Amino acid sequence: MSRNKDKKQEQEVVEETTTESVEETVIKPEETTDSVEVDELAEAKAALEEMENKYLRVQAEMANIQKRNAKEREDAAKFRAQSLALELLPVGDNLERALAIEVTDEQGKSLKKGIEMVKETFAAALKNEGIEVIDPLNEPFDPNFHQAVQTVPVEEGQKSEIVVQVLQKGYDLKGRVLRPAMVIVAQ
């Protein structure tokens, strides 16, 4: 009987050991599966967050490109007359030189009157395109709008850094200087 008892005890011990190892074996795969799923979930969340960031960056970049293109189109429309104006400004200068000539006879006076009319039409066309004259006589010298070609000593009652003579008028197109005025400045 002791043998039977020993065998029964051994069987119980073996069954308990087997049951425990089976439980451990069963538990271990569940833990492994859970940790794998957690790792995969974390990786998926990180990938999703990275893709969202990329999407937001691309969306912001597209918005910036659209704004830049709109600004470039606006500037192109705003300053479309710039190249033509630069070509025509010497024509206006020559008209002014022609008007500066003194005439005494009737034929010369008629010719001068015709040149004045052309000059007025020319000035109106420039103004319609947004081109304004920079004529800084007796104004403070500003290197952003004026080009000093000569300086003269300050006379009595005159301030320093004042434009005393305009040699060539400057022109401005909607806030952008096309040509600075060539001036003589008192110093």
- What's the per-residue H, E or C state across 16-82? HHHHHHHHHHHHHHHHHHHHHHHHHHHHHHHHHHHHHHHHHHHHHHHHHHHHHHHHHHHHHHHCCCH
pLDDT of residue 95: 93
Q: What is the pLDDT of residue 36?
A: 81
Q: Say whether pTM exceeds 0.75.
A: no
Helices (H), 79-177: 82-100, 106-128
Give residue 38's Cα distance to chain centre.
Answer: 47
Other residues' Cβ atoms within 10 Å of the Cβ of residue 178 = 20
**Quick count: other Cβ atoms within 10 Å of Cβ 132?**
15
C-alpha distances in Å from residue 19, one per residue of 7, 11, 110, 115: 18, 12, 125, 117
Q: Taking the CA atoms of the chain, what radius of gyration do you get in angstroms?
A: 45
Nearest to 133 by CA among 168, 183, 165, 169: 169
pLDDT given at position 147: 93
Question: What is the reported pLDDT for 159?
Answer: 85
Question: pLDDT value at position 171?
Answer: 94
Which pairs count as long-range contacts for 138-143, CB under 8 Å and 24+ apart, including other chains?
Answer: 138/162, 138/163, 138/164, 139/163, 141/183, 141/185
pLDDT at position 80, please? 79
Q: CA angle 16-17-22, nearest 5°?
A: 95
**pLDDT < 50: residue spans in the chain:** 22, 25-27
